[in-house]
């Protein structure tokens, strides 16, 4: 399964992260620097493995250390319709 940013969301950089606006609900969400890196990688379809490998390399953590956190973030974003599983 791969994940892609919803076309109904727009985002912009703020401080060390990103603000996301869901245009359907007019609800704002925010992500820190790591979340922003994950979000940006989903401008094209990306799998959990691809995201885990990229974050592991970017932040010098093992894939085992970050995979669960990334999976949790993806599930939260899916729940709020910020991303799509494609």
User: What are the pLDDT digits (tens) for 48-76?
Assistant: 999 999 999 999 899 999 999 999 999 99
Position 35 confidence tier, pLDDT thresholds 50, 70, 90: very high
**DSSP annotation of 82:** S
Question: How many whole angstroms separate alpha carbon 48 and alpha carbon 53?
Answer: 9
pTM of the model: 0.95
What does residue 58 show for φ and ψ, rounded to 5 degrees? -70, -35
CATH architecture classification, 2-85: Alpha-Beta Complex (3.90)
Q: How many CB atoms lie within 10 A of CB 46?
A: 22
């Amino acid at each position: 399964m791969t994940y892609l940013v919803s076309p109904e969301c727009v985002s912009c950089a703020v401080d060390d992260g990103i603000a996301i606006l869901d245009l359907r609900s007019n609800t704002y969400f925010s992500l820190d620097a790591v979340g922003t890196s994950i979000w940006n990688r989903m401008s094209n379809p990306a799998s959990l493995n691809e995201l885990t490998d990229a974050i592991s390399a970017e932040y010098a953590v093992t894939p085992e250390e970050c995979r669960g956190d990334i999976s949790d973030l993806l599930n939260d974003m899916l729940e709020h319709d910020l991303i799509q599983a494609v």
